[in-house]
């Protein structure tokens, strides 16, 4: 019996599938590009070409379907192995991008199954002196805590609170201080241990926010930039969390007033 003749519609669908190839879902990104880029991490030679490819991959993780594909091929294991082996000044930009991708995946996908050792590999970067890496670690903490609050054990929280204080006390990087304020605000919505509610972190976070708000912003119609307003919003969220969890409104207001007076 002769084969059934293909209809025009079936023909068009066949051509479309061939043209689509290994495209990931409904995105413009391909599995081949992702895999080819990740294979370069086996023995990375850091140069402009690799940075461009990784930045393109980082941008692609704004698409949830790309994030899901990266989880299918166990990207967290790949990233953490690279971080452990190449956590040096020379590869700072590489580490920043990998943590940024993990932060995007954590934002796009709830309940991503990270192992404890993978979480610790990322949190160990809290000792980094690279502000750009720390910004991405803050993004990861906020995103991962949102859907996996149980990961924040008391020991981890203690380490994170120390970093918060260090950043508030000494960092001059606007983005890092802002991301740290955001992390403090989001974590303390539900986390009630004392390390995030002592008087030192209150005063340091307030001083840090005042520094951000007093940075020059030239605009005839607005007093503060959108980033400055966001920073103030995060501080207010944290103060509200502090009041809810500690019932120390009067003493807190007194400390805040003295801190602001000392900053003026």
3-state secondary structure the chain: CCCCCCCHHHHHHHHHHHHHCCECCCCCCEHHHHHHHHHCCCCCCCCHHHHHHHHHHHHHCCCHHHHHHHHHCCHHHHHHHHHHHHCCHHHHHHHHHHHHHHHHHHHHCCCCCCCHHHHHHHHHHHHCCCHHHHHHHHHHHHHHHHHCHHHCCHHHHHHHHHHHHHHHHHCCCHHHHHHHHHHHHHHCCCCCCHHHCCHHHHHHHHHHHHHHHCCCCCCCCCCCCHHHHHHHHHHHHHHHHHHHHHCCHHHHHHHHHHHHHHHC
Q: pTM here?
A: 0.85
Count of alpha carbons within 13 angstroms of residue 173, beta-carbon side: 14
In order of their start, the domains of the chain are: 23-151 (1.25.10.10), 152-264 (no CATH)
From first to last of the 264 residues of the chain, give the pLDDT tens digit. 455 555 655 545 444 444 455 899 999 999 999 999 999 999 898 999 999 999 999 999 999 999 999 999 999 999 999 999 999 999 999 999 999 999 999 999 877 889 999 999 999 999 999 999 999 999 999 999 998 999 999 999 999 999 999 999 999 999 999 999 999 999 999 888 888 988 899 889 999 999 999 888 777 678 889 999 999 999 989 988 888 887 765 565 555 555 544 554
Torsion angle of C-alpha atoms 182, 185, 191, 194, degrees rounded to 10: 110
Buried b (16+ CB within 10 A) or exposed e, 105-132: bbbbbeebebeeebbebbbebbebebbb
3-class state of residue 60 by DSSP: helix
**In angstroms, what CA-CA distances link 194 with 154, 199, 252?**
10, 10, 15
């Amino acid at each position: 019996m002769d084969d059934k003749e293909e209809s025009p519609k079936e023909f068009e669908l066949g051509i479309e599938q061939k043209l689509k190839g290994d495209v990931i879902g409904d995105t413009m990104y391909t599995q081949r590009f992702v895999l080819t880029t990740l294979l370069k991490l086996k023995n990375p030679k850091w140069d402009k070409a690799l940075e461009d490819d990784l930045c393109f991959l980082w941008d692609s993780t704004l698409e949830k379907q790309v994030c899901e594909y990266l989880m299918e091929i166990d990207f967290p294991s790949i990233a953490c192995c690279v971080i452990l082996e190449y956590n040096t000044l020379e590869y700072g930009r590489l580490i920043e991008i990998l943590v940024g991708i993990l932060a995007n995946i954590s934002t796009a996908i709830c309940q991503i199954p990270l192992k404890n050792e993978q979480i610790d590999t990322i949190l160990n970067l809290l000792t980094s002196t690279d502000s750009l890496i720390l910004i991405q670690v803050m993004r990861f903490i906020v995103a991962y805590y949102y859907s996996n609050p149980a990961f924040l054990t008391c020991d981890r929280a203690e380490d994170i609170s120390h970093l918060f204080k260090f950043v508030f006390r000494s960092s001059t990087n606007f983005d890092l201080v802002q991301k740290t304020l955001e992390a403090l605000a989001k974590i303390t919505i539900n986390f009630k241990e004392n390390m995030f509610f002592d008087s030192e972190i209150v005063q340091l976070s307030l001083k840090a926010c005042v520094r951000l708000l007093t940075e020059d912003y030239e605009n005839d119609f607005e007093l503060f930039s959108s980033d400055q307003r966001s920073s103030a919003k995060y501080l207010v969220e944290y103060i509200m969390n502090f009041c809810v969890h500690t019932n120390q409104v009067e003493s807190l207001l007194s400390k805040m007033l003295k801190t602001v007076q000392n900053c003026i």
